[in-house]
C-alpha cells in the first residue's frame, strides 16, 4: 500500500476566529494528529474561499477601499489573520489556488473525453437583474435581492449520476466499514440526476478554458479537488478528507466524479462535533487531576478531536468527565521511552482506519507516548 495522508475538509473562510469558534479547527486538528501518528510530514491546511459570502464581502471591500486588494490576496489575508502570530508551518491551500485549478481542468478534460462529464446548453434560471444563477426553489436573489428570475439557454458543465452507484458508498468512506452510512446516503441521494457543475461566482476555478466564460466549477466539486491536490503534490496514493457527516453529505454528489486521479484516491473521513462550549464544566476535574495548562490543551485540542474522529457522531456534554478520566489514566501510563513495536502497530491501525485504540488505555497511552516524544518538555506531566 502506498502513502496515505489526511487532509482537512476545506474550512469555509467565513467571518469567525478560532477563539470564537474552536470547532472550526476540529478537522485541522484531527488531520495534524493523525498525520503525526502515521509519520507523515504535516500537510497544508485547506480552505474554502469560493463562496457567495466571499464574493459579497470582497465587493463590499472593493467599493469602500481606495486601493482594493485583489480577491485571491484578500482571501489569503483573511486566512492569515485567523492564525495571528502562529501561521501553520506547512502553509495552506485554497480551493482556488492555481495548482488546484490546473488539476481541476486536467481532471475535467479527461472526464469530458471519457464521456463521464459533458458540456451542454441547458435552460438555466438566473436573476433577471444581476445574472446570478438562481438554483432551485423560489427565494430572492442572494446577490441583489431581486425576486425576478428568468430561464435562458446557457452552456454549462454537466454530471449525470451514474446509475446503480450510491452517491456515498461505504467504500468511499475511510474507517466506516462496520456501520453503513445509511443516513448519509439518504441525504446525498436527494439530488437531481443531472447535476450542473458550473456556478456564477467572482472567484474560483474558471471554466473559460472549456468555453464557459463567466462560470466557475461548482465549489462543492472544487473542495474535493483541493484536498486531492495535496496528495497529488506529495505523490501519495490516498488522501482522506476529514469532515463532518453533514458536510460530506452536502458535497458528495458534486464530488462523485472527482474521487480519483491518476492512481491517487480521495476518501471521506468522518468526525463528530465537540461540545467546546461545555468545556468550562470540566474546570473542577482539571484541578482534581492536577492538570497543567499544557495537559488541558492536549486534552481539548488533541484528544477530543481524535475522539470525535472515533465517535463519528457528536460528543455529548455528559460524556466529557469520563473522557477526561480515561485520558488522565492513559497519560499516567504513557512513558518517556517509546515501544517501537507498539508505535508501529498503532501506525498500521490508523492507516487501516481503526479507531478503537482511542477507547482503550494501552492504545491511547501509546499514542500519547508518540505525541510527547515530539514535544520538548513533554506534555504528559
Ligand atoms: Zn440578482
Predicted pLDDT at 373: 66
Provide the residue range defining the domain that includes 357. Answer: 276-373
Residue 163 has pLDDT above 70, yes or no: no
Task: Tell me: do 210 and 284 sit in the same domain.
Answer: no
Task: Tell me: do 115 and 222 sit in the same domain.
Answer: yes
Average pLDDT of span 265-280: 94
**Distance (Å) of CA 299 to CA 264, 282, 339:** 34, 11, 22
Predicted pLDDT at 180: 46
Q: Using the mean position of ligand 1's atoms as its centre, give its distance from the Cα of residue 152 in Å.
A: 15
Predicted pLDDT at 381: 46
Task: Tell me: do 193 and 283 sit in the same domain.
Answer: no
Which of 164, 199, 226 represents a domain boundary (last residue)?
226
Looking only at the bridges linking them, the beta strands covering 11-12 and 4-8 are unpaired
Q: Which of 132, 140, 162 is nearest to 52 (CA)?
A: 132
The answer to the question of residue 84 being in a domain is: no
This prediction has a pTM of 0.93
Q: Using the mean position of ligand 1's atoms as its centre, give its distance from the Cα of residue 247 in Å.
A: 27
**Distance (Å) of CA 317 to CA 245, 322, 327:** 20, 10, 16
Task: Tell me: do 199 and 294 sit in the same domain.
Answer: no
The answer to the question of residue 11 being in a domain is: no
The answer to the question of residue 335 being in a domain is: yes
Predicted pLDDT at 183: 62
What total number of domains does the chain contain?
Answer: 2
The answer to the question of residue 240 being in a domain is: no
The answer to the question of residue 50 being in a domain is: no
Of the pLDDT bands very low, low, confident and very high (cuts 50, 70, 90), residue 188 is: low
**CATH number of domain containing 191:** 2.170.220
Cell numbers for 125, please give them.
Answer: 434560471
Residue 178 has pLDDT above 70, yes or no: no
The answer to the question of residue 164 being in a domain is: yes
Q: Using the mean position of ligand 1's atoms as its centre, give its distance from the Cα of residue 133 in Å.
A: 8
Instruction: Please tell me which residue, 249 or 170, carries the higher pLDDT value.
Output: 249
Q: Using the mean position of ligand 1's atoms as its centre, give its distance from the Cα of residue 125 in Å.
A: 11
Q: Using the mean position of ligand 1's atoms as its centre, give its distance from the Cα of residue 156 in Å.
A: 19
The answer to the question of residue 156 being in a domain is: yes
Task: Tell me: do 137 and 206 sit in the same domain.
Answer: yes
Of the pLDDT bands very low, low, confident and very high (cuts 50, 70, 90), residue 215 is: very high
Of the pLDDT bands very low, low, confident and very high (cuts 50, 70, 90), residue 5 is: very high
Instruction: Please tell me which residue, 157 or 342, carries the higher pLDDT value.
Output: 157
Predicted pLDDT at 371: 86
Q: Using the mean position of ligand 1's atoms as its centre, give its distance from the Cα of residue 252 in Å.
A: 27
Q: Using the mean position of ligand 1's atoms as its centre, give its distance from the Cα of residue 150 in Å.
A: 11
Burial of 228 (0-12, 13-18, 19+ CB in 10 A): buried
Amino acid at each position: 500500500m502506498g502513502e496515505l495522508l489526511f487532509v482537512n475538509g476545506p474550512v469555509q473562510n467565513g467571518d469567525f476566529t478560532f477563539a470564537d469558534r474552536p470547532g472550526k479547527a476540529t478537522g485541522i486538528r484531527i488531520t495534524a494528529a493523525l498525520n503525526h501518528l502515521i509519520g507523515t510530514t504535516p500537510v497544508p491546511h485547506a480552505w474554502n474561499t469560493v463562496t457567495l459570502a466571499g464574493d459579497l464581502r470582497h465587493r463590499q471591500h472593493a467599493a469602500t477601499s481606495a486601493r482594493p486588494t485583489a480577491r485571491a490576496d484578500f482571501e489569503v489575508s483573511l486566512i492569515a489573520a485567523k492564525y495571528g502570530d502562529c501561521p501553520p508551518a506547512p502553509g495552506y491551500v485554497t480551493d482556488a489556488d492555481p495548482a488546484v485549478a490546473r488539476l481541476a481542468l486536467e481532471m475535467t478534460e479527461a472526464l469530458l473525453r471519457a464521456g463521464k462529464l459533458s458540456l451542454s446548453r441547458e435552460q438555466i434560471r438566473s436573476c433577471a437583474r444581476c445574472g446570478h444563477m438562481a438554483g432551485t426553489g423560489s427565494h430572492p436573489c442572494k446577490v441583489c435581492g431581486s425576486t425576478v428570475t428568468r430561464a435562458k439557454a446557457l452552456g454549462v458543465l454537466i454530471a449525470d449520476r451514474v446509475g446503480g452507484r450510491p452517491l456515498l458508498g461505504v467504500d468511499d468512506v475511510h474507517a466506516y466499514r462496520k456501520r453503513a452510512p445509511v443516513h448519509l446516503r439518504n441525504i446525498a441521494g436527494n439530488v437531481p440526476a443531472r447535476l450542473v457543475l458550473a456556478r456564477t461566482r467572482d472567484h474560483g476555478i474558471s471554466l473559460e478554458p472549456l468555453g464557459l466564460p463567466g462560470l466557475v466549477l461548482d465549489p462543492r466539486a472544487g473542495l474535493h479537488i483541493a484536498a486531492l491536490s495535496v496528495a497529488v503534490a506529495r505523490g501519495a496514493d490516498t488522501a482522506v478528507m476529514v469532515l463532518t457527516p453533514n458536510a460530506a453529505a452536502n458535497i458528495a454528489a458534486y464530488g462523485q466524479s472527482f474521487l480519483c486521479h491518476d492512481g491517487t484516491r480521495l476518501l471521506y473521513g468522518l468526525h463528530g462535533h465537540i461540545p467546546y462550549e461545555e468545556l468550562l464544566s470540566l474546570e473542577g476535574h482539571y484541578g482534581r487531576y492536577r492538570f497543567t495548562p499544557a495537559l488541558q490543551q492536549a486534552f481539548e485540542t488533541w484528544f477530543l478531536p481524535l475522539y470525535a474522529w472515533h465517535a463519528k457522531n457528536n460528543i455529548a456534554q455528559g460524556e466529557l468527565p469520563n473522557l477526561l478520566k480515561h485520558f488522565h489514566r492513559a497519560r499516567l501510563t504513557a512513558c518517556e521511552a517509546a515501544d517501537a513495536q507498539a508505535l508501529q502497530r498503532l501506525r498500521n491501525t490508523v492507516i487501516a482506519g481503526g479507531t478503537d485504540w482511542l477507547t482503550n488505555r494501552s492504545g491511547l497511552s501509546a499514542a500519547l507516548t508518540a505525541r510527547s516524544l515530539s514535544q520538548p518538555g513533554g506534555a504528559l506531566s
